[in-house]
Structure 1
Amino acid sequence: MAAHDLVKESDTGMLGANLSRQFRIVHGYEVGESEQRSWRHSLPALADALVGAGLGSVEMLIEYQVPLSSYRVDALLCGVHPVTCEPSYVAVELKQWTKVRPVPDAEDLVLVDGMDNVARLHPVAQVRRYCDHIADFTKSLHGHEDRIRGVAYLHNATDDDVDLLFALAPDAYGQLFTGSSKAKFQKYLVERLAPAAGVGAADALRSEQVAPGKKLMDVAAEGIAERSQFNLLDEQRVAYSLVIRAVKKARAADFKEVIVVTGGPGSGKSVIALELLGELYRNGLSALHATGSKAFTTTLQQATAPDDPRIKKLFRYFYEFTRVEKNSFDVLLCDEAHRIRDPYIPQRFRDRQRRQVEELLDAARVPVFLLDEHQVVRPGEMGSVEAIKEAAAAMNLPVRHVRLGGQFRCGGSRAYEEWVLRLLGLLPGGPLPWKGDDRFAVQVADTPQELQAVLRSHHEGGRQARMAAGFCWPWSKPVRRANNVVELVDDVSLSEWDWAHPWNVQSERSIGGYPSKNLWATDPAGFSQVGCIYTAQGFEYDWNGVILGPDLVWRNGAWAANPQENKDTAVARASEEEFTHLIRNTYKVLLTRGMRGTVLFSTDRETREMIRTLVTGY
């Protein structure tokens, strides 16, 4: 809406309610009272500044969603540049802060008075990232990145109140203004926006197609190509070549094809995806990598672009393609596609929302799905070959399916992978005795201390070792001791053996020397915590310790699944049949993370003895 219209609506007292209703229509969910309160106080302050500067006709896009992201800009001002007469945009991050305190040794973080003691991102750093992202993925801004600018406006504060925020140097995508510098803010706006109506500029963004810009593609071609130099073998090369072939056909004619690549743990699915990403960008084609796992995506970003935030943007999440235009990209690489969700959609939104698999199929001319059907571990995850083929058939899209036969995890031991599948009943025939394999070691521990001692010997010997467990124990928040030291709680407590250790960190920030949940599998400091399915899935380490909990035990020659013993509420609420399937898949994932060996321990004596008999023969 135009700035002068927002002022009028604010005067009626209906601004919060009306924006809330519109937000629900656009985004499909309700906002809380705190956000409505923020709208009622901050948006009129911004609109008043615009009207006072003679810019009442400038269009305000409220809660503008950043492309390929769940993040939203408080307001995106849309208008015409007073000199060039071209479209002009100003992203505005609004804050009601009045006082801030520094976070030592972190100029882009601050503590805000009255808002607990949690560090928050500097608002200029925040809006700067929004602008950078919008410029990289908005087609009409490609080659015209100077059309968008960014500001943070702290309308309740004075310059003196927040003087430390000015230590962060301003640039085109981020400047700071406060209530006491309102006149400077208005001057800034007048230099970038004309009094003319901004409806045209706003409409251009509403119908905008999303795609990576040329600058981003050039950076990706250099950065990813330097890092992805894997030697693809056999079926891996077949999958790679089929994607390249499909892209060439799609570029030459009106053609679209779906590629599905399936394989077990360590079969090279992610290697194929990274090789394709580098090759596509070297040839000037647009592609994105997407997963449903925060930990997995973060690790890929660290591995391919530790110091280049622009390349990190190429690694996205499945849920970010809800509003992407059809065929926005040449290729969308959906890695870990078994984690595609098929959530329940309320009746009132079914006329405009699609299943996630349909959104991913629509997003690119060549959608590629890489998955392991035995890694579906949560209710609502529906990534399977059959489900993808059914969705593609409904859209009249041809599908090519490549089965990877290689094995690079578990020491390349096919025997161990089959042993795990047979052990858990994921392949017919029942458990098999472990006959040994020179490439992979299997041990059964009688106590958790023994399991940890074996892992520690490898860890101290320079090997990467981790222990993970079924989700059978509570997961507490960290506690702050009297000396202000933050500690994790020893939730994984096996009292029978007088052994207890904490789960890995729940948050995306490191705590007390422990790595964030996204880096538990790769940071050496992760050794002392117990990982769960969500931090282990998608990763590998040399030596793998697995604690089988009481949610899956061996009774009377068969597995018995006990949802009452599982603390993952979403999984425990599943039907009996679904829970049994999910929990077996969970332990299958945990048991196949090792590259050199696995050490097993079950908290249940009968289960432990059955596994020991399989492994040792007695």
Structure 2
Amino acid sequence: MTHERPGAEPVVKADPGVSAQLLAELAVDPTASTRSGPYVRSFAAELTEVGLGEIDALIGFRLPYSSAEFDLILAGIHPESREPSYVAVELKGWDAARLEPSGLAVATGSTSRHRTLHPVVQLDKMIAYLRERAVTRDHPISGLVWFPQASDADVASLFDFVSPEGTRVFTPESREAMAVFLRSQLAPDPDRRAVGALTSTAVSEPRPLLVAAANEFKNPDEFVFLGNQELARSTVLKAAERGTNETLIVTGPPATGKSAIATSLVAELDRRGYSVNHATGSRPATSTWRKVVGTGNPGTKVRSLFTYFNNYTGAVPCGLDVLICDEAQRIRGSSANRYTPRDRRTGVPQVVELIQAAKVSVFFLDPEQALRPGEIGTEELIASAAADNGRTVRRITLDTQFGVDGSSEYLEWTSRLLDGERRTPPIWTGGREFTVEVADTPHDLEARIRERASDGTARIVAGLCWPWHEAKPGEDLPLDIRIGDWARPWSVKGDRGVHGAPSGTLWASDPAGFGQIGSVHNVQGFEFAWTGVIIGPDLVWRTDRWVARPEESYDTSLRRLDDRAVEKHIRRAYGVLLSRSRKGTIIYSTDPETRQMLHQIVPSNAR
């Protein structure tokens, strides 16, 4: 059977309603496609062998509002309280592992060797996240890390870690100790109350990024990071402690937690007394961080911690302990512009200025979100500049979804949808906690988004296919975006609000921004609960492919690009617009053939 939470899609892909004994006897491993599939059935056999075959095993249990999942959750009743009790299981197919002084583990497999988060820390974080989001605090949940291919000696240094969640490490050599541990936590549950309690519990939603970030400066436990998210955070904190010249490059697609980790690090490093700055190449991003975090923390210096990439020309070398650079794909060749005085034009590349400004420099980026010809930040550029400046370079890739309510399916779908090489558009089959709809008119789009506005932040965004006139004080905003009899204004240009509408730099965070239409210029780096996306006439679907029509665009930066680069730029811009939502996206295309294609691949009954 498949278990569901009220109002949500099933939380597991495989049947969780089996005993460990039955799982061990299955002819085909139901999780063979998962990262730990080869070890699930063998672990179930271990449970059966030590007399725990009647314990329920929930396979591939996925965390709410995340793409992370447990390999197994064992469910039963506590032998003393007789109430539901759980043990989360992480299966590691490593041959050996050792703990570094930094607290990270060096794992050795049959074909690879890599640095990673201590598996107990990883599992503890997942348990803490699950407890916070979906499990009542009255029900105990502990952890178990199983190394089926290692001996106790192979992972000896991992045993010493003291887990706040009571997580233990075991190998086949210590299976009897594992049995004792499990019996102290679980007994068979004939009525399967534990399974029912876990899979039907109400789920609490995470706070929106901006709200959580403001709270992070007062509450260090606001964010719970998982997997490589926590690895990135821990690596930066350890680098700050060492105080040596290091550069960390963190890459990841949309909604993998880059901005959340960045702001969390600023808060934690400031709390620990380090000199730290946060920098971006975006006026809307930095202005919003200053307003939201500063307003949430009055009487503090936090506003001054948020800066721009071009603020570090002539900065004292290593004058900061740590510099956090978010949206680093927006790094430019130089911090100088046409207004920069001649005596301030140093000729030093912007990336070098950022690296030299601090002992530890951290760059968060997604190369697929570089939107303007002058934005040159790549992993290779940063790593090369860091090495040339004598820095130790570390790289981490994020792969666990943090926003978008954990719908990795949706982000993968948008990536395939906008793939210029693909000739068959992908069908949206529904996401666990995400909704996609297609609107037939801009009126329909706006009505649906307005209906959901009470569900959190909601905005409408569009491609740059209409003129963008300056709003004048005392006058109504110019209705630049006209589609038939529907007309709406763009967000206000500049740093000042007009006629009750917020400035363009604060459009994404100010509730009064609803009603004006945003663009890639002020949406990048932000998230909304719901987003309406207008695909303009600059990108249309013809038979079996996307066709870019730059003559329909008002984006002047396209004039410097060749035809192939123009098409890539336009598709990438819509990729940014489509990846801003946490709960759902409603799409409208001004082109009838494109709209027809979207209706064909987004069934009306799919979430």
**Per-residue deviation at 1:430?**
5.3
Aligned match for 2:311, one of 307, 316, 320: 320
Is 1:375 matched up with 2:369?
Answer: yes
Aligned match for 1:438, one of 432, 436, 439: 432
TM norm structure 1: 0.59
Is 1:335 matched up with 2:326?
Answer: yes
- Do 1:223 and 1:304's aligned partners in 2 also have CA atoms closer than 8 Å? no
Show CA shifts across 1:142-190 (max 9, x none): xxxxxxxxxxxxxxxxxxxxxxxxxxxxxxxxxxxxxxxxxxxxxxxxx
Amino acid at match of 1:301: R
**Per-residue deviation at 1:224?**
2.6
The equivalent of 1:474 in structure 2 is: 467
- Do 1:469 and 1:546's aligned partners in 2 also have CA atoms closer than 8 Å? yes
- Do 1:225 and 1:282's aligned partners in 2 also have CA atoms closer than 8 Å? no
Indicate how the Cα distance of structure 1 residues 486 and 357 shifts in structure 2: closer, same or farther if over 3 A, else same: same
The equivalent of 1:187 in structure 2 is: none
Distance in structure 2 (CA, Å) of the matches to 1:227 and 1:519: 26
SS in 2 for 1:338: helix
The equivalent of 2:240 in structure 1 is: 247
Aligned match for 1:257, one of 246, 269, 292: 246
Distance in structure 1 (CA, Å) of the matches to 2:405 and 2:269: 31
Is 1:353 matched up with 2:344?
Answer: no
Indicate how the Cα distance of structure 1 residues 429 and 349 shifts in structure 2: closer, same or farther if over 3 A, else same: farther
SS in 2 for 1:449: helix
Distance in structure 1 (CA, Å) of the matches to 2:534 and 2:486: 12
- Do 1:419 and 1:431's aligned partners in 2 also have CA atoms closer than 8 Å? no
Indicate how the Cα distance of structure 1 residues 427 and 563 shifts in structure 2: closer, same or farther if over 3 A, else same: closer
Show CA shifts across 1:415-472 (max 9, x none): 100101111117868531111113100001111111111011112x343211000011
Show CA shifts across 1:45-91 (max 9, x none): xxxxxxxxxxxxxxxxxxxxxxxxxxxxxxxxxxxxxxxxxxxxxxx
SS in 2 for 1:425: coil
Aligned match for 2:565, one of 553, 572, 578: 578
Mapping of residues 489-508 of structure 1, within 5 Å? 489-495=478-484, 498-508=485-495
SS in 2 for 1:528: coil
The equivalent of 1:224 in structure 2 is: 217
The equivalent of 2:286 in structure 1 is: 297
- Do 2:216 and 2:264's aligned partners in 1 also have CA atoms closer than 8 Å? no
The equivalent of 2:546 in structure 1 is: 559
State the Cα RMSD in Å.
2.7
**Per-residue deviation at 1:226?**
4.2
Aligned match for 2:445, one of 446, 451, 458: 451
- Do 2:370 and 2:376's aligned partners in 1 also have CA atoms closer than 8 Å? yes
- Do 1:421 and 1:427's aligned partners in 2 also have CA atoms closer than 8 Å? no
**Per-residue deviation at 1:396?**
3.5
Higher CA-based Rg: 1
Indicate how the Cα distance of structure 1 residues 579 and 408 shifts in structure 2: closer, same or farther if over 3 A, else same: same
**Per-residue deviation at 1:479?**
4.2
Show CA shifts across 1:311-333 (max 9, x none): 21110000001110211111100
Indicate how the Cα distance of structure 1 residues 384 and 278 shifts in structure 2: closer, same or farther if over 3 A, else same: same
Distance in structure 2 (CA, Å) of the matches to 1:593 and 1:398: 34
Distance in structure 2 (CA, Å) of the matches to 1:420 and 1:223: 31
Distance in structure 1 (CA, Å) of the matches to 2:357 and 2:245: 11
Distance in structure 1 (CA, Å) of the matches to 2:559 and 2:543: 23
Distance in structure 2 (CA, Å) of the matches to 1:245 and 1:550: 49
Distance in structure 1 (CA, Å) of the matches to 2:424 and 2:403: 23
Distance in structure 2 (CA, Å) of the matches to 1:349 and 1:428: 50
Distance in structure 1 (CA, Å) of the matches to 2:563 and 2:389: 33
Distance in structure 1 (CA, Å) of the matches to 2:438 and 2:512: 25
- Do 2:326 and 2:363's aligned partners in 1 also have CA atoms closer than 8 Å? yes
Indicate how the Cα distance of structure 1 residues 563 and 429 shifts in structure 2: closer, same or farther if over 3 A, else same: closer
**Per-residue deviation at 1:351?**
9.2
Distance in structure 1 (CA, Å) of the matches to 2:280 and 2:299: 20
Indicate how the Cα distance of structure 1 residues 366 and 429 shifts in structure 2: closer, same or farther if over 3 A, else same: farther
The equivalent of 2:260 in structure 1 is: 271
Indicate how the Cα distance of structure 1 residues 424 and 476 shifts in structure 2: closer, same or farther if over 3 A, else same: same
SS in 2 for 1:332: strand
Amino acid at match of 1:581: K
Mapping of residues 1-150 of structure 1, within 5 Å? none
Amino acid at match of 1:384: T
Distance in structure 2 (CA, Å) of the matches to 1:524 and 1:503: 15
**Per-residue deviation at 1:524?**
1.9
Where does the alignment leave 5 or more consecutive residues of structure 1 unmatched? 1-220
- Do 2:420 and 2:545's aligned partners in 1 also have CA atoms closer than 8 Å? no
SS in 1 for 2:360: strand
Show CA shifts across 1:172-210 (max 9, x none): xxxxxxxxxxxxxxxxxxxxxxxxxxxxxxxxxxxxxxx
SS in 2 for 1:274: helix
The equivalent of 1:516 in structure 2 is: 503
The equivalent of 2:585 in structure 1 is: 598
Distance in structure 2 (CA, Å) of the matches to 1:527 and 1:393: 45
**Per-residue deviation at 1:536?**
1.1
Distance in structure 2 (CA, Å) of the matches to 1:330 and 1:426: 43
Amino acid at match of 2:320: F
The equivalent of 2:277 in structure 1 is: 288
- Do 2:414 and 2:575's aligned partners in 1 also have CA atoms closer than 8 Å? yes
**Per-residue deviation at 1:278?**
2.2
Distance in structure 2 (CA, Å) of the matches to 1:310 and 1:396: 32
Mapping of residues 176-187 of structure 1, within 5 Å? none
- Do 1:547 and 1:603's aligned partners in 2 also have CA atoms closer than 8 Å? yes
- Do 2:313 and 2:335's aligned partners in 1 also have CA atoms closer than 8 Å? no
Show CA shifts across 1:220-272 (max 9, x none): x999344773222221110011112222222xxxx311101112222111221
Distance in structure 2 (CA, Å) of the matches to 1:479 and 1:452: 25
- Do 2:245 and 2:390's aligned partners in 1 also have CA atoms closer than 8 Å? no
The equivalent of 1:199 in structure 2 is: none
The equivalent of 2:383 in structure 1 is: 389
SS in 2 for 1:547: strand
- Do 1:566 and 1:572's aligned partners in 2 also have CA atoms closer than 8 Å? no
SS in 2 for 1:402: strand
Distance in structure 2 (CA, Å) of the matches to 1:267 and 1:299: 20
Is 1:530 matched up with 2:534?
Answer: no
How many residue pairs get aligned? The number is 388
Mapping of residues 415-434 of structure 1, within 5 Å? 415-425=409-419, 431-434=425-428
More helix by share: 1
SS in 2 for 1:487: coil
